[in-house]
Amino acid sequence: MSSLPDKQILTTTVGSYPLPSWLLAAPSQEAVTDATRVVFDTQRQAGIELPTDGELYRFDPGHPDTNGMIEYFVAPMAGTRVEFGRSETEEFAARQSMGFRVKPAAVVDGELGEGSLDLLGDCARAAAVAGGAFKFTVTSPYMLARTLLDRHYGDFESLLMALAGVLSRQVSGLPCSCLQIDEANIPGNPEDGPLAAAAINKVFEGVDEGVEKAVHFCFGNYGGQVIQDGTWESLVSFLNGLQADHLVLELAHRPEEDLAALREIDERLKIGIGVIDIKVNHVETAEEVAARIEKAAGVLGGDRIRFVHPDCGFWMLKRSVSDRKIAALAKGRDLFLGI
């Protein structure tokens, strides 16, 4: 496992990467591995110190329009069922408030278990072509739980903690430098903060010593649209309850007052700030990125900023746009640090 370089502020990406057209045209396991190598090399050549694998291991040629943030995790689990009809679709719609999702990802009929889920296998495949330190990403159990129709546990907390237990066992022994949990739903449901924090911390219990623990939060992105309402101010107590090393926060597409709220984050938590807006096609200049870092450092203090990164993953953008944004991220960081 590779260590991170010793720099004041490191560059990283959040997770997903646009599917290469040739992978869509001729999908195979060999092609996924080759594409993953390309994703790593693209980031490293641009100057990214902690790249992600692009989450291409989640790619499903039968559903190329999704990035597998939900189904990849819950469909293989024991106790779930992905075949359901009208009545269960209507029941799910009546129970929940995820207006952008009309069907459950799965129905839970029994005790959840690993089933055929194998995060170690996919992380090892990424590690074999990573060429250095890299980040592996896992969707938050809270976000997963909100997509399920529960016919077994009877209450949301029991379902949530069962999911957290499965994921905690899955993240043990992963050959990555950083394990990142992704949560894009709690920003719109801050009242569930303590419950979500307990589940995320349960997952972190399985992470090996020496692996950096990160949590990524955003307000959702589909077709450049914000999915969740809310503010960072309402989430500070939740963030302070996380047993993470650093936070990965959407800020480039957020109002200015959100930045000031982050002063209240516990000093044990290093902060990653979003300086690349992935909801627009505009490619930032190095000067724009450096200015965003300078502004955040002025508000939070430069010693609080551990990483700079895009607000979220790149899967909704074209590769030509994503690659230039990635290059601008590294150049802007260097300009800010004077290197």
Q: Each residue of 192-218: pLDDT tens digit?
A: 899 999 999 999 999 999 999 999 988
Distance CA 134, CA 125 (A): 12
Provide the 3-class DSSP secondary structure of residue 195.
helix
Q: 74: closest CA among 113, 123, 41?
A: 113
Looking at residue 69, what is its pLDDT?
87
Looking at residue 224, what is its pLDDT?
47
Residue 106 has pLDDT above 50, yes or no: yes
Higher pLDDT, 228 or 319: 319
Mean pLDDT, rounded, of the chain: 90
The tokens for 15 are 């997770």
Mean pLDDT of 75-93: 94
Mean pLDDT of 228-244: 81
Distance CA 156, CA 150 (A): 8
Distance CA 248, CA 134 (A): 15
Q: 326: closest CA among 1, 3, 18, 7?
A: 18
- Check if the beta carbon of residue 111 is closer than 8 Å to that of residue 134: no
Mean pLDDT of 286-291: 98
Looking at residue 220, what is its pLDDT?
56
Q: Strands 78-81 and 106-113: what pairing?
A: antiparallel
Residue 184's pLDDT band (cuts 50, 70, 90):
confident
Residue 8 has pLDDT above 90, yes or no: no
Look at 31-35, 180-184, 257-261 and tell me which has the smallest mean pLDDT: 257-261
Looking at residue 218, what is its pLDDT?
80
**106 bridge partner residues:** 148
Look at 52-61, 133-142, 153-162, 236-245 and tell me which has the smallest mean pLDDT: 52-61
Mean pLDDT of 306-318: 93
The tokens for 337 are 């640090």
Residue 102 has pLDDT above 90, yes or no: no
Domain boundaries, the chain: 10-337
Higher pLDDT, 1 or 65: 1
Residue 314's pLDDT band (cuts 50, 70, 90):
very high
- Check if the beta carbon of residue 146 is closer than 8 Å to that of residue 185: yes
Residue 45 has pLDDT above 70, yes or no: yes
- Check if the beta carbon of residue 288 is closer than 8 Å to that of residue 249: no
Looking at residue 14, what is its pLDDT?
96
Q: Does the domain formed by 10-337 have CATH 3.50.50.60?
A: no
pTM of the model: 0.93
Higher pLDDT, 223 or 191: 191
Residues 6 or more apart whose CB falls under 8 angstroms from that of 165 comprise 112, 202
Looking at residue 226, what is its pLDDT?
45
The tokens for 300 are 């939070």
Higher pLDDT, 185 or 284: 284
Q: What is the largest CA-CA distance in the chain?
A: 60
In the numeric block, the tokens 């972190």 are attached to 204
C-alpha triplet 191, 99, 82: angle, nearest 5°? 100
Residue 108 has pLDDT above 80, yes or no: yes
